[in-house]
Amino acid sequence: MKTTYPFLSTIALTIFVLSCKAQQTSIVKNGAELVKVSNAYSFTEGPASDKEGNVYFTDQPNDKIIKWNAEDNTLSVFKEPAGRANGLYFDHNGNLLAAADEKNELWRIDNDGNVDTLLTNYNGKKLNGPNDIWVDPKGGIYFTDPYYQRDYWSRTAAELEDKNVYYIAPDTNKISIVASDLVQPNGIIGTPDGKTLYVADIGDRKTYTFTINKDGTLTNRKLFTKMGSDGMTIDNLSNIYLTGEGVTVFNTKGEQIHHIPIDENWTANITFGGKDQDVLFITAMGAIYTLKMNVNGVRY
């Protein structure tokens, strides 16, 4: 005769729920609250952290790049005008890379704000509008190139038929298409070991993983989750952070482990900043937010 113990099922369920809850809250610092640093902007985007943990972000409608000082929580204008910059990322030499949307270019900006234009076209055709950037451990540059019609453009159609992900090889500056067959690629981030690239196809509401080969090409495309993203970041536990309706965090298996609600109509982008890379820095509509974390961003 089989004996059953109904209370054990209740205990098991309780343990499961508590375990899930613990998993969800463990990445956020105990007692930490979301802090609205400022809402003085029109539309914030493209946060990128330098080696000191300061975060640079864009206010695209007002054509500015703003610097958040990690030491004293102050804000200052780094560059204005800023080529209608969207996504930002620092290279290994401390230069700020910018997806300069005004003329569909890719910029490299030094500490004094001087601009070196890295890219203006692909095979003689104007880029759609570089959006987000990631730099691999070797210094190669990946960027997404969707098409969003801008009111400050004179053109009304794309010159390139496809919306691709491109790679600029280090040293040679050779540019190549490494991912295509995407509706509207947007957010992009790679693992610190340089082996895996995550690309969000926000137009198709999907995020994919790719294997990064030694020459920078991508293979082994796999669906990571049925959710797109505007911007993306990764922590030291390899969790992936997607944006849109707040911030949604996934583990490496593509399982959602946490959600950070943001009281804004849209959450555009995200990165880690602060001296110890334990401050989640979030851009959402005209505002920026910070949140203390138990996990850290990753640096080379």
**What's the structural domain count of the chain?**
1
Residue 9 lies in a domain: no
pLDDT at 39 (0 to 100)? 97
| DSSP assigned state of 29 | P
What tens digit of pLDDT does each residue of 226-259 get?
999 999 999 999 999 999 999 999 999 999 999 9
CB 169 within 8 A of CB 114: no
Q: How far apart are CA 194 and CA 134, in angstroms?
A: 11
CB 4 within 8 A of CB 238: no
| Amino acid, res. 243 | T
- Could you give the 3-state DSSP secondary structure of residue 224? strand
Residue 21 lies in a domain: no
What does the pLDDT average to over 82-109? 97
Q: How far apart are CA 225 and CA 113, in angstroms?
A: 38
| Helical residues (DSSP H) of 101-258, grouped into ranges | none
Instruction: Look at residues 251, 287, 294, 250 and name the one whose alpha carbon lies nearest to residue 269.
Output: 287
Q: How far apart are CA 228 and CA 247, in angstroms?
A: 12
Which tokens go with 271?
A: 């990165």
CB 232 within 8 A of CB 200: yes
Q: How far apart are CA 61 and CA 191, in angstroms?
A: 31
Q: What percent of the chain has pLDDT over 90?
A: 89
Residue 300 lies in a domain: no
CATH of the domain at 149: 2.120.10.30
List Cβ neighbours of 259 (8 Å cut-off, separation of 6 or more).
24, 246, 247, 248, 249
Query: Looking at the predicted structure, is the pLDDT value of residue 15 above 50?
Result: no
Residue 11 lies in a domain: no
Residue 18 lies in a domain: no
pLDDT at 172 (0 to 100)? 82
Q: What percent of the chain has pLDDT over 70?
A: 91
Instruction: Look at residues 195, 189, 194 and name the one whose alpha carbon lies nearest to residue 300.
Output: 194
| Residue ranges making up the domain that contains 150 | 31-292
Q: Measured at the alpha carbon of residue 189, what is the angle toward residues 140 and 111, in degrees to the nearest 5?
A: 60
Residue 26 lies in a domain: no
Residue 25 lies in a domain: no
List Cβ neighbours of 78 (8 Å cut-off, separation of 6 or more).
56, 65, 66, 67, 113
What tens digit of pLDDT does each residue of 115-130 get?
999 999 999 999 999 9
Q: How far apart are CA 65 and CA 86, in angstroms?
A: 9
Residue 177 lies in a domain: yes
**pTM beyond cutoff 0.95:** no
Confidence bin at 10 (pLDDT 50/70/90)? very low
Other C-beta atoms closer than 10 Å to the C-beta of 259 total 12
